[in-house]
Every structure is written in structure tokens, then in C-alpha cells.
């Protein structure tokens, strides 16, 4: 009798695990930056190329999840593809600093125990997201910057590229335009802060990121950026700041942000959204809308976020004219969008 009871219990447990595996959703969302993204600025060929790259990244990440891989691997895979593309302000497509160089930031977070890793101001790493993950998994720290990050990368066996690897014609032209505007503003106002505020928002934003939920119910988020065009003094934005540009917690959601980083830092955007979900019981759609539209918009904070929760729901709110974005889940086919009314 006891033996039969034991067999029944084992059978129930196996069937329960099997049922969980079948019903546990998987999901991924990616972004390639938000801002003044208008259809009139794109040729049909350009729009097609951007959409194709977003589709490639989201489907590569989803394939990892579909094969039973972890959300961290899916996020890293998707972000790496976006970093390797000249279309987006991260990795190969990174913007220029005021001095005509490139300084890259990235972060990643594991929703299981809030483990996180980040790098800031790296100049010779082809894929900063990989180094951020190594910081999380192989160091006792959360964020490394500049030369220290480079030393750690050497210790971990990373390969390096010349800073000129990140050069692109369209980013250099943007730098020239930005510097002209800054010089013009300086003629009437010698205050650097005032002159920089006179720059259009298109020079102050641009990021890539991914959020994912795997078959084990674990969330992850990752973000990577080249920062702000014509940035100076070793400026670091929100992308490597845990809680601002990146956040993941299995009790709520995973978030990756893109926008004017200073606002996202000051208002702890990513963690605020997750806190509203966890402590106020709000949906990610509601929480994201409140922070992006009701908190940031009135104070001039422009940008957007991608969010996924523990049930595989996806939300991608933004308050700009467009945001490069794509998503796929076990309940939704691949969706790729660029403009506000896509």
C-alpha cells in the first residue's frame, strides 16, 4: 500500500513538473533606442534594414529561450547582435565623445538574486555586454570603469579592438553638428551646462537593450550604449547604473531603458517600475506608463523602456516619436516596430 502511494506521489510530481514546463511562458523584448525617429527620415531601404536587424536580434534571443537556455544567455545574445550593428548607439555604432573618441557603458542583471554587473567608460571592448556579465559572474564588484575595467578584461582573457573600430561616418557627422551647436551657444553663454542643454535631445540618447523570461521562470535584463554625442569629463549615463537603466527581479519584472540618462538616473526609472509592480500590484503596462508618461514627461525626461514580467507579458512604453523595438513570446509571434504608430 505504501509502495503504491509512493508511486502515485512520484507520478503526480512528474506530471506536475511536465505541466509546468508546458505552461511556463518564455518571452523576450529588445530595443535599439528611442528619440526623434520619424518615418520621413528613412528611405524604404533603410527602414527595411533596421527592421531586419531588430528581427534578427529578437529571434536569436528567443531561440536561446526556446531551446531551454537561460534568460541571461538570451539577453546577452540579443544585445551582442545590436552592439555589432552600426545602426544603433552601442558597440560598433557608438557615438563620439567631444574629443572624437568612444566610451561605452553596459550592464546586466539576473532576476534570481539581483546579481548584477556593469562597466563604464570602456574604450576597446567590442562587446561591453560580455564584460558586464563577466563582472557579475567573476568579480566581487557590481561596476568597473575605465582602466580598471580594462585590467579586469585582460585578466579574464578578453580580446581587444582599437577604439577606431567603433568609427562610423554618420556618428562622426552628428558629432560635428553637435560641436557647432555647442560653439554657437558658447558665444552667447560661456556656461557649459547651459550650452549643453541647448542641444537637441537626439544628441542625448541612444541605447540598446533586452529583457527576457526563460522556461525556469527567471528574468534578466541587459543594456548597452555609446552614451551621449559630444559627452565630456568621463560622463556616465543610466545604462550601467543598476536601478536606473537596468533592473531585474523575479518577484516583479525586468526592465531595460533608453533615453536622456540623467533623468533616468535621478528618478531610478527601472527599479521604480518594478517596485510599482511588486508593492502596488500594478501590471507592467500600468507601471511603465505611469513612470514614462506621468513621472518623466512633465519634467522633460524623454525616452522609453522595455518590460517583461513573470507571466511573459511584454510592455514597451515610450514618450518620444519613435523607439526601435521588437518582441516575441510563447504567446506572441515576432513583432518589430520603429515608429510611434506602428
Q: Is 217 annotated as a binding residue?
A: no
Q: Is 238 annotated as a binding residue?
A: yes
Full strand arrangement of the beta sheet holding 104-110: 143-145, 115-122, 104-110, 219-225, 208-213, 27-35, 322-329, 332-339
Q: How high does pLDDT run on average in the chain? A: 90
Burial of 281 (0-12, 13-18, 19+ CB in 10 A): exposed
| pLDDT tens-digit map of 113-168 | 999 999 999 999 999 999 999 999 999 999 999 999 999 999 999 999 999 999 99
Q: Is 236 annotated as a binding residue?
A: yes
Q: How far is CA 190 from the centre of its chain?
A: 35
| pLDDT tens-digit map of 86-116 | 999 999 999 999 999 999 999 999 999 999 9
Q: Is 260 annotated as a binding residue?
A: yes
Higher pLDDT, 115 or 5: 115
Q: Give the pLDDT confidence score for residue 37 in this predicted structure.
A: 86
Q: Is 237 annotated as a binding residue?
A: yes
Radius of gyration of the chain (CA): 21
Nearest CA to 261 out of 284, 229, 216 is that of: 229
Q: Is 207 a known active-site residue?
A: yes
For residue 269, pLDDT beyond 70: yes
* Secondary element (H or E) of residue 197: helix 192-197
The residue from 76, 77, 97, 207 that is catalytic is 207
Cell 531585474 found at: 248
Cβ contacts of residue 224 below 8 Å, gap of 6+? 79, 82, 83, 90, 91, 104, 105, 106, 107, 128, 129, 132, 207, 208, 209, 239
Task: Return d(Cα 273, Cα 263) in angstroms, integer.
Answer: 14
**Arch. (CATH architecture) of 27-339:** 4-Layer Sandwich (3.60)
92 near 85, Cβ under 8 Å?
A: yes
Identify the bridge partners of residue 126 per DSSP, sorted by sequence position: none
Amino acid at each position: 500500500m505504501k509502495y503504491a502511494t509512493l508511486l502515485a506521489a512520484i507520478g503526480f510530481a512528474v506530471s506536475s513538473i511536465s505541466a509546468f514546463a508546458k505552461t511556463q511562458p518564455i518571452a523576450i523584448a529588445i530595443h535599439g533606442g528611442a528619440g526623434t525617429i520619424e518615418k520621413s527620415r528613412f528611405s524604404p531601404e533603410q527602414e527595411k534594414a533596421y527592421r531586419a536587424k531588430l528581427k534578427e536580434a529578437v529571434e536569436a534571443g528567443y531561440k536561446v529561450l526556446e531551446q531551454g537556455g537561460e534568460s541571461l544567455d538570451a539577453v546577452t545574445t540579443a544585445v551582442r547582435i545590436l552592439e555589432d550593428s552600426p545602426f544603433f548607439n552601442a558597440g560598433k555604432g557608438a557615438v563620439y565623445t567631444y574629443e572624437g573618441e568612444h566610451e561605452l557603458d553596459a550592464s546586466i542583471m539576473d532576476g534570481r538574486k539581483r546579481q548584477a554587473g556593469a562597466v563604464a567608460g570602456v574604450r576597446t571592448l567590442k562587446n561591453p555586454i560580455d564584460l558586464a556579465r563577466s563582472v557579475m559572474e567573476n568579480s566581487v564588484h557590481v561596476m568597473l570603469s575605465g582602466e580598471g575595467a580594462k585590467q579586469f578584461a585582460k585578466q579574464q582573457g578578453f580580446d581587444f579592438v582599437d577604439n577606431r573600430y567603433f568609427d562610423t561616418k554618420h556618428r562622426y557627422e552628428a558629432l560635428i553638428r553637435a560641436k557647432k551647436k555647442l560653439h554657437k551657444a558658447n558665444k552667447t553663454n560661456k556656461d557649459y551646462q547651459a550650452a549643453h542643454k541647448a542641444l537637441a535631445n537626439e544628441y542625448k540618447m541612444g541605447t540598446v537593450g533586452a529583457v527576457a523570461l526563460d522556461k525556469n521562470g527567471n528574468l534578466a535584463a541587459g543594456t548597452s550604449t555609446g552614451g551621449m554625442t559630444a559627452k565630456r569629463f568621463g560622463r556616465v549615463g543610466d545604462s550601467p547604473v543598476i536601478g536606473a537603466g537596468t533592473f531585474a527581479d523575479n518577484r516583479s519584472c525586468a526592465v531595460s531603458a533608453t533615453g536622456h540618462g540623467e533623468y533616468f538616473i535621478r528618478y531610478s526609472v527601472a527599479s521604480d517600475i518594478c517596485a510599482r509592480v511588486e508593492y502596488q500590484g500594478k501590471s507592467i503596462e500600468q507601471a511603465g506608463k505611469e513612470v514614462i508618461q506621468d513621472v518623466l514627461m512633465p519634467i522633460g525626461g524623454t525616452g522609453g523602456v522595455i518590460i517583461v514580467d513573470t507571466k511573459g507579458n511584454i510592455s514597451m512604453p515610450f514618450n518620444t516619436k519613435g523607439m526601435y523595438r521588437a518582441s516575441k513570446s510563447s504567446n506572441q509571434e515576432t513583432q518589430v516596430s520603429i515608429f510611434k504608430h506602428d
